[in-house]
Amino acid sequence: MTAWELAESFMTNRQITDDSKTLGCVLKALHTAKITHADTGFKGTQLKATLKLDGEQLAVFKPKWYNRDYIMVGTPYAGKDRHNAEIAAFHLNRIIGLHRVPIVVGRVIDMESEIRSVAHRNLLQTFYYKDGNTCFYGKCYYCKGPDTGVCGTGTDMEGSVTFWLPDSYRLSKPEPHPWRRTYRDNKPAPWEHEKNYCQRVRATRPYESRQRLLDLIDIAIFDFLAGNADRHHYETFEYSKDSAVIALDNGKSFGNPYNDEMTILAPLYQCCMVRKSIYIRLTELSGDIIGQILYNVLADEPLRPVLTSHHYTAVDRRLAKVLQVITECQSASNQAEVVIDDLE
């Protein structure tokens, strides 16, 4: 099998999701494969580029905006996407046993020798130079010209490369997240003030199916551990009736290791449900274990260090808070009604 066939299997077959040799092969290919074509990124608010790698494999490149020790302040969803957050989020997601995030690796790309010669004119038109560095501003909602662009160091640009599944695994139209934010300070979302909001969600499709709701709670726990308060939409596989929720776009994670945004956990503490398999895995990782595992995994990343020590401490602290919320739910209800068997 080629590296891309292995990647496809890794993303779609849970039986081999923990095969480190398979994953290592795919990560190496994403990190080193020749770039045969480059263009502006897919639709969205954030700057990115679309790459085609040797073997016709598509990937998404998100450039570096911030240094590792930059602390994001302001709203819980402030700032631009962070390439190192995409990398760390992928590994955190598989550590907790979800396997819902596309494969990501770090890579330094020479914008002149690797991109310019194979770039579509749409992308080339956004190239510019500043202080001797190669820069681009791409095409997106916030991409308005050189003032909104990003620059490399000389011709080198650091970023994350995300594996894109082949067309045979098409994603559904993005679904609005029931617990999405309004992004307006003076306009709270319904879930922020309705006492019985979860019951209202459960009365609507597709959330009358407990599985879909449990999926969103899985993702809420993952997002809280990573500090991602920007999950406004979600995707599933188009042709799979029972498809799990896919967690794309994790670039707003790991912004402020000193802030634990509890509202991210609203699906958990308002519905008081959690999958038994995830609950067991979280308890196994408690007691300052999850941060150490994430540190050990990221120690092999090409762009190491991916996070600062404060982020590993934050993940440990946040996991303790997740388990405390579950304990409080159990105290207020029957334990069997909170921890849900995966087969039910």
Domain boundary among 166, 196, 222: 166
The pLDDT of residue 189 is 97
- Other C-beta atoms lying within 10 Å of the C-beta of residue 176: 9
Residue whose entry in the numeric block shows the structure tokens 């899985």: 218
Q: Are 162 and 175 in the same domain? A: no
Domain boundary among 110, 140, 166: 166
**CA atoms lying within 13 Å on the CB side of residue 269:** 16
Please say if 230 is a catalytic residue. Answer: yes
| Pair 68, 87: CB distance under 8 Å | no
**pLDDT tens-digit profile of 124-171?**
999 999 999 999 999 998 899 999 999 999 999 999 999 998 777 888
Separation CA 321–CA 331 (nearest Å): 15
296, with CB counted inside 10 A (0-12, 13-18, 19+), is: exposed
User: Structure tokens of 31?
Assistant: 């990190």
Q: Are 97 and 220 in the same domain? A: no
**pLDDT tens-digit profile of 167-223?**
778 888 899 999 999 999 899 999 999 999 999 999 999 999 899 999 999 999 999
Q: Are 234 and 322 in the same domain? A: yes
Q: Are 66 and 105 in the same domain? A: yes
Q: Are 65 and 191 in the same domain? A: no
The pLDDT of residue 72 is 96
Domain boundary among 166, 198, 223: 166
Residue whose entry in the numeric block shows the structure tokens 């946040």: 318
Separation CA 89–CA 219 (nearest Å): 11
Q: Where are the beta strands (DSSP E) in 102-244?
A: 104-110, 127-130, 133-136, 150-151, 156-163, 175-176, 233-234
Q: Are 241 and 145 in the same domain? A: no
Where residue 269 sits, what CATH number does that domain have? 1.10.1070
Domain that holds residue 59: 3-166
Separation CA 165–CA 100 (nearest Å): 13
Q: Are 109 and 157 in the same domain? A: yes
C-alpha distances in Å from residue 337, one per residue of 62, 213, 216, 344: 41, 14, 17, 11
Interhelix angle 309-332/276-285, nearest 10 degrees? 130
Q: Are 145 and 290 in the same domain? A: no
Number of structural domains, the chain?
2
pLDDT tens, the chain, 344 aa long: 778 887 877 776 643 345 677 889 999 999 999 999 999 997 788 999 999 999 999 999 999 999 999 999 999 999 999 999 999 999 999 999 998 999 999 999 999 999 999 999 999 999 999 999 999 999 998 899 999 999 999 999 999 999 998 777 888 889 999 999 999 989 999 999 999 999 999 999 999 989 999 999 999 999 999 999 999 999 998 877 678 899 999 999 999 999 999 999 999 999 999 999 999 999 999 999 999 999 999 999 999 999 999 999 999 999 999 999 999 999 998 766 899 997 65
Sorted by sequence, the CB contacts under 8 Å of residue 28 that are 6+ apart come out as: 3
Q: Are 161 and 39 in the same domain? A: yes
> Considering 81, 218, 223, 230, which one is annotated as catalytic?
230
Q: Are 186 and 45 in the same domain? A: no
Separation CA 238–CA 258 (nearest Å): 38
Sign of CA dihedral 303, 70, 67, 145: positive
The pLDDT of residue 343 is 63
44, with CB counted inside 10 A (0-12, 13-18, 19+), is: middle
Q: Are 192 and 153 in the same domain? A: no
Q: Are 18 and 105 in the same domain? A: yes
Alpha helices by DSSP H, listed for the chain, are 3-12, 20-32, 83-95, 121-124, 197-202, 210-226, 266-271, 276-285, 290-298, 309-332, 335-338
Separation CA 107–CA 184 (nearest Å): 35
Sorted by sequence, the CB contacts under 8 Å of residue 258 that are 6+ apart come out as: 71, 310, 314
| Pair 266, 191: CB distance under 8 Å | yes
